[in-house]
A and B are shown apart, each in its own frame.
Chain A
């Protein structure tokens, strides 16, 4: 029972060790790919178990909750673990083509696997302090990936990324300390009861603001997002892709978890704050994207914009809104990884990622154009791509609570997203290359297979999500229902005695 929770964590760390031992040889990178494939299998197994048992929980070292560390997976956790494993497999495949031997010898695959392990741990843990530790594992690995290679741009981006993320870490840690002081427990399921029963609600509201700020900063929500566009365009494309797909989403996941499980108050103050944070995040993100001319910087601002949509779902908090946010998470993780990987191929082909110096790809590499259009349309929310369903659910939820302005903003942001995606399309694909080059996919040489396979696979997934959305929407609705009514979660973690 416990093993099924431990495998998704153990596999990345074991893979990290072995790929480090063989980092001097080609074997190292294939160990990383193989390990990532195993992680997908483990995540699928966990998903199956969660679908049949609702919530799977295990006490590490047989220390009963709330004293030991609990690993626990409900539907949301299982979805996130599976998405992490899929993105991990896609990027480690792509990395076999993009990452050169120098970076491999420095341990690129190892750090990537540790990052994946840290992210998975954050999704699986049921203990607040343990969540902090996983955040740190993830953070230090992301620092490593960000600066690996050591170009001036990377160092500059890393300075901002590192410093601002460390500030949010300190806030998170202080919040944990204070919460422990008030409630005397760190187990998230146990905290729910302790927080509800506490007679110091005023102090608890202040403490919850610590978590709100810390996680919003990790999620790159307005106005705490400045580290993201400063750094995400500087490392290698695989690193950008995995950062874009997963890291900010860990912040969103933590917000969802903490503010449904622990601070489940009917307090309208939070809703109001979070709704406007969400709206401003959407708007600043998309406007920032319009002002940029470099592909990765456009996409970085688009990440911020989509974080706004996710926060909107959490802020509204109805079952439909949360289900919309969870479906949006599934869609967005795949699409974001995909767009950054396609951007990597675009850069390799046309010799630069600034749109002013690229062009002509539609004529010379039509396959790439299709592979770009699928995620781009999906992000913009064209039917029947996956982003459309996500936005339908979210906008419908917004209209249901009669937040007309918010719904209007969400639709307008959608329009502007289309505009910003068309900019990339028009500049990189339609217009002629400024140097009259006609780059074709065969220019990739032996890297062609390694680069295109993950892109095609993720495109396939995104299309499945778009054309057959019903099972996934049902899953998202079930996950949302579990978040809003954590009875099964509490029973699984604390056992029958606590009921």
Chain B
């Protein structure tokens, strides 16, 4: 299972890097979503997987039995997912705004803040 998830992470990162190297903001954004999900899967996998043994405390006991799944990576992933969602929503709105204000999604043409030499003098 770990191998399968590791491969998935690899494929996701590869696809994300491919998308992020495109000169189009929207594709970059999709790449970013993919790579942040890859990072979440990575945390999940590196915390080691234990199937079928939820970390529950049996009635009357004070601690879960030994050998249960580690819940901490899942808590970390949950935090990261929530933060990632917020950031993605922001970036999406920013992209939309960039498209309406700057009239393009091609990153090469986004030169308002850093105009080329000849445009600067004009």
Contact = CB atoms under 8 A, between A and B. Distances in A.
Interface of A: 129, 132-133, 136, 139-140, 143, 147, 150, 152-160, 162-163, 166-167, 169-170, 173-174, 176-178, 180-182, 229-231, 233-234
B14 to A, nearest CB: 14
A162 B113 CA distance: 14
Given A166-B32, A173-B43, A177-B39, A229 B102 contact: no
A490 to B, nearest CB: 22
A33 B112 CA distance: 34
A231 B46 contact: no
Interface in B43-74: 43-48, 72-73
A230 B46 contact: no
Contact of B35 (A139, A153, A160, A170): A170
A257 B111 CA distance: 37
B7 interface: no
B94 A155 contact: yes
B94 A158 contact: yes
Contacts of B29: 163
A155 B102 contact: yes
Contacts of B80: 132, 173
Given A129-B76, A150-B97, A153-B113, A167 B83 contact: no
A233 to B, nearest CB: 7
Interface string B87-106: 10011001101100110000
Nearest to A173: B39
Contacts of A157: 113
Interface of B: 20, 25, 28-29, 32, 35-36, 38-40, 42-48, 72-73, 76, 79-80, 83, 86-87, 90-91, 94-95, 97-98, 101-102, 107, 110-114
14 contacts: A139-B87, A140-B87, A156-B110, A156-B113, A156-B114, A162-B90, A162-B94, A163-B91, A170-B36, A173-B40, A174-B43, A177-B76, A180-B43, A234-B113
A62 to B, nearest CB: 17
A156 B98 contact: yes
Contacts of B87: 136, 139-140, 166, 169
Contacts of A140: 86-87, 90
Contact of A152 (B39, B44, B95, B101): B101
B32 A230 contact: no
B48 A181 contact: yes
B113 A231 contact: yes
A140 B91 CA distance: 10
Given A155-B94, A162-B90, 5 more contacts: A152-B112, A155-B112, A163-B29, A173-B43, A174-B38
Contacts of A160: 110, 113
A143 B97 CA distance: 14
A229 B98 contact: no
Contacts of A159: 25, 94-95, 98, 107, 110
A133 B79 contact: yes
A159 to B, nearest CB: 5
A229 B114 CA distance: 9
A170 B39 contact: yes
Contacts of A158: 94
A132 B87 CA distance: 14
Contact of A180 (B36, B40, B47): B47
Contacts of A173: 36, 39-40, 43, 80
Q: Determine which residue in B43, B47, B114 has the highest number of CB atoms from chain A within 10 A of its CB, and name it.
A: B114
B101 A155 contact: yes
B112 A156 contact: yes
Nearest to B42: A177
B90 A180 contact: no
Given A143-B90, A150-B97, A155-B97, A230 B113 contact: yes
A177 B113 contact: no
Nearest to B46: A181
A153 B28 CA distance: 20
> Which one of B86, B95, B97 has the highest number of Cβ atoms from chain A below 10 Å of its Cβ?
B97
A160 B111 CA distance: 11
A166 B94 contact: no
B110 A136 contact: no
A435 B42 CA distance: 60
Nearest to B97: A155
Nearest to A154: B113
A170 B112 CA distance: 27
Contacts of B83: 133, 136
Contacts of B47: 177, 180-181
Contacts of B48: 181
B69 to A, nearest CB: 14
A415 B60 CA distance: 73
A230 B90 contact: no
A470 B35 CA distance: 48
B94 A152 contact: no
A180 B101 contact: no
A233 B42 CA distance: 37
Given A140-B86, A140-B87, A166-B91, A180 B73 contact: yes
Contact of B46 (A136, A169, A170, A177): A177
A452 B3 CA distance: 62
A124 B15 CA distance: 37
A147 B93 CA distance: 11
